[in-house]
Structure 1
Amino acid sequence: MKLLRHHRSRLGVIIGAALVLVLAACGATSGSAPAAAPVADPDDGGGPAWQAVVDAANREGTLVLYTNSDAVGDEFAAAFNRSYPDVRLVVTHYASGELTTKLDAEKGARTAGADVAMLSSKLWLDDNAGRLVAPTGPALAKYWGGSRFVYQGGRFVLVAATPLGAGVNSAMVQQLGAAPIRTYQDLLQPQLKDALGILPGKPTPAGIQWWYYAARQLGGDAGVAQLAGLNPRIYTGTAPMGTDIASGEIAVGVYQVKPIIDALAAKGAPVSFVPLTPAISTAVDSAVVDWATHPHAAQVFQNWLLSPAGQVALAGNGGLLSALDPATIPGAPATMTRIPADGAVADGILTPEQSTWLEKVWSIQMKLP
């Protein structure tokens, strides 16, 4: 199956061919783990009524997925195709703000577009819950009963979380005389001055929340001031930051994702991803929209995503954290990890305290517009 992907990025001309190579590699390595053992049939327990939905999905023949997740790549699509070879998966990647803007335009005009959206904005999903369709397949009841990640009666579900941490060029860190990067406090070493990059999260609410939680680990407002004193280079995307870590332009990049760094390492770059602890991640929510052109295929996809098969495809290689416990999934790869019970997950809904912190601490210290 050929995955149709259309990357719309603000960063195209900034990084040119290097970004193309990174994203291509990311698509080839992200979103799926080796299928060492078969997992449960996603349609199991659905009965004749569900089989009728699957048959209708096969007749529709196409599914359009919008996502802002770098972990949704070719192998993820191939895994879906192994379960449903008659349904072509079309994935379009958008930046977070672009994605919700696109969905708003489509819902107003009721034009063909997304069938399913995977995004990190709980605020948008809550505000548009009336335009979302709860799953009708068997997986929700079978695997997600009592889960804290099911919202609005199943109209949208937190299917995974993106663990953000640091991309590290260990050779450069050593050359600068800094200690290895393992914790948030390690980011504040004076040796990293002018060799540190950050993606500051603004204007995405989930990104701001991530830094709000990270600031606590840095030592509060004083830690933020220390970070600002290192003169960090400000980035607008994880891919160009990753490219600069690999080339030695910077030694460490923070608010980085594992798939980007893993793709660079696979091509021989001296980089590694460090999952700073405690884990701070951003939500990956999924929902079927009520203006779907392929409503049956959308239901089949959402059911698959909520099943062990979909969870292994999405989070099996460790690029994302699964909302299900891998210990309960026969055949789950050893690289698959669940969202920690005590780990903070940014959901994109800023509290008044977080909004005040953004304006009075973070934006001022980091000189953000």
Structure 2
Amino acid sequence: MRFSRCGANRACNKLTSDGLPEKLERDKSTDRRCSKMRACILVLWIFLMFPAASPAQGRKPTTIAELVTYSAKDREQVLYNGAKTEGKVTWYTSLAGESYKGMVKAFETKYAGVKVEAYRVSGSDMTTRMYEESKAKRYIADTVETTEGNLMFMRDAFLLRPYHSPQFASYPEDAKEKSERGLYFWAIARESYIGFAYNKKLLSKNAVAKNYEGLLHPELKGRMGVSVSDPSYKVVGAMLKTKGQEFVKKLKVQEIALHTIIPPALLDLIASGEVLASPAIFRNHTLNAIAKGAPVDWVPMDIVPTNVGGAAIAVQPPHPHAALLLADYLLGPEGQAVLEKFDYGSATKNLGFKRWRPDHGIVTDKYEKELEVWEKLLKEISRKGG
């Protein structure tokens, strides 16, 4: 809503046709009307611009606009009390396997009386669902956890609301997506690292690649594989970034097999010895396989392509207290401990290798085009596998 200064002052100031002020006798009632009008406009402007000012006067925040900026010491208790009244939180997540179930159990144990309704789906399907729900004005999601690329789509489509969390202080600035007024759209709740996995019984120690140059070792010729998937494309992108296109094309002599399977299935082939190694396997998948007795190991390369999942708030969460309570939990020490049990990495820790987030800091259209380039180059340097 806009207000015109001219409209507010029309009764107070009258101009002649050449723009000079005309001397008029103003009576006291006109002056009072002008003063009241200005005062009303000022009060209304403050109310519209700073809706969160009211709780500072003693009332606890209740609306999502107030809650996202609330930072008092009793924040957790305020959110929990409100969440118990709301009864539940709807969580849209891309966490795989048992990890999201473990998170639900831990959260519900700590915050009794708040039920988590988890909807587990891929990031792209989640984005489509939230977009359609927004168009229909059917707001269902409260808290969102998915990959950074999809969060960028959601942000650009106005599906997310920036917020404050006391947990943000533990995260480096590049692990948060900044908004205005000190708020953030999301922070990185979990990381997955892509590197070189191999069969430690069948590959000699000297042939284990410790960097991208190591992929040219003669013992690896005809024995490596990659999957038709984003992790493989990102590895090509990482090699382009660090070594250049000429190096990537050299890898054609290694006869890398291109398999139409997902990365965990490719890791199974490495464990069985059918494939000796791959430069495009997730660290957490490898650690999980090791825990089950598989003879595999994992090492980082020059830079480590990193998939991340961020914790965000939907633009109009039906359960605002519970939405923020769950986001705080995901980013806090207890939520991070749950994710670490499932071998996810944390943006708050230094693991001794250089992370690289291919989709960070660039517009989504450009990132999609880069993925297409990396995919095409991968197909050029590989041979058809299983």
Q: TM-score when scaled to structure 1?
A: 0.68
Q: What's the counterpart of residue 338 of structure 1?
A: 350
Q: Distance in 1 between matches of 2:100 and 2:129?
A: 20
Q: Which runs of 5+ in 2 are unaligned?
A: 1-69
How far 1:158 sits from its partner (Å)?
2.7
Q: Distance in 2 between matches of 1:63 and 1:98?
A: 20
Q: Among 109, 112, 124, which residue is 1:97 paired with?
A: 124
CA-to-aligned-CA distance 1:10-48 (integer Å, 9 cap, x gap)? xxxxxxxxxxxxxxxxxxxxxxxxxxxxxxxxxx97444
Q: Give the count of matched residue pairs.
A: 304
- What does 1:132-143 correspond to in 2, within 5 Å? 132-140=160-168, 142-143=169-170
CA-to-aligned-CA distance 1:47-77 (integer Å, 9 cap, x gap)? 4465232112123343333333448344444
Contact 2:92–2:143 (Cα < 8 Å) also in 1: yes
Structure with the bigger RCO (C-alpha within 8 Å, sep 6+) is 1
Aligned AA for 1:51?
A: Q
Q: Which runs of 4+ in 1 moved over 6 A?
A: none
Partner SS, residue 133 of structure 1: coil
Q: Among 58, 68, 93, which residue is 2:94 paired with?
A: 68
Q: What's the counterpart of residue 237 of structure 2?
A: 212
Q: What's the counterpart of residue 302 of structure 1?
A: 327
Contact 1:201–1:210 (Cα < 8 Å) also in 2: no
CA-to-aligned-CA distance 1:125-175 (integer Å, 9 cap, x gap)? 4313x32123355333x545856523223122233432111222112323x
Q: What's the counterpart of residue 261 of structure 1?
A: 286
How far 1:354 sits from its partner (Å)?
3.5
Q: Distance in 1 between matches of 2:354 and 2:286?
A: 25
Partner SS, residue 256 of structure 2: coil
Contact 2:199–2:276 (Cα < 8 Å) also in 1: yes
Does structure 1 residue 83 correspond to structure 2 residue 87?
no
Contact 1:167–1:253 (Cα < 8 Å) also in 2: yes
How far 1:197 sits from its partner (Å)?
1.9
Does structure 1 residue 181 correspond to structure 2 residue 204?
no
Q: Distance in 2 between matches of 1:267 and 1:148?
A: 32
Q: Distance in 1 between matches of 2:94 and 2:177?
A: 20
Instruction: Describe the shift of the 1:236–1:298 C-alpha distance in structure 2 as closer, same or farther (beyond 3 A).
Output: farther
Q: Among 200, 204, 207, which residue is 1:170 paired with?
A: 200
CA-atom RMSD in angstroms:
3.5
How far 1:313 sits from its partner (Å)?
3.1
Q: Which runs of 5+ in 1 are unaligned?
A: 1-43, 325-336
Q: Distance in 2 between matches of 1:301 and 1:309?
A: 11
How far 1:209 sits from its partner (Å)?
4.4
Q: What's the counterpart of residue 273 of structure 2?
A: 248
Partner SS, residue 114 of structure 1: coil
Does structure 1 residue 361 correspond to structure 2 residue 377?
yes
Instruction: Describe the shift of the 1:339–1:49 C-alpha distance in structure 2 as closer, same or farther (beyond 3 A).
Output: same
Q: Distance in 2 between matches of 1:226 and 1:49?
A: 56
Q: Distance in 2 between matches of 1:257 and 1:193?
A: 22
Q: What's the counterpart of residue 246 of structure 2?
A: 222
Larger radius of gyration: 2
Contact 2:146–2:310 (Cα < 8 Å) also in 1: yes
Contact 1:66–1:93 (Cα < 8 Å) also in 2: yes
Partner SS, residue 354 of structure 1: helix
Q: What's the counterpart of residue 124 of structure 1?
A: 153
Q: What's the counterpart of residue 222 of structure 2?
A: 194
Q: Distance in 1 between matches of 2:162 and 2:232?
A: 27
How far 1:302 sits from its partner (Å)?
0.8
Q: Distance in 1 between matches of 2:78 and 2:177?
A: 25
Aligned AA for 2:274?
A: E
Q: TM-score when scaled to structure 2?
A: 0.66
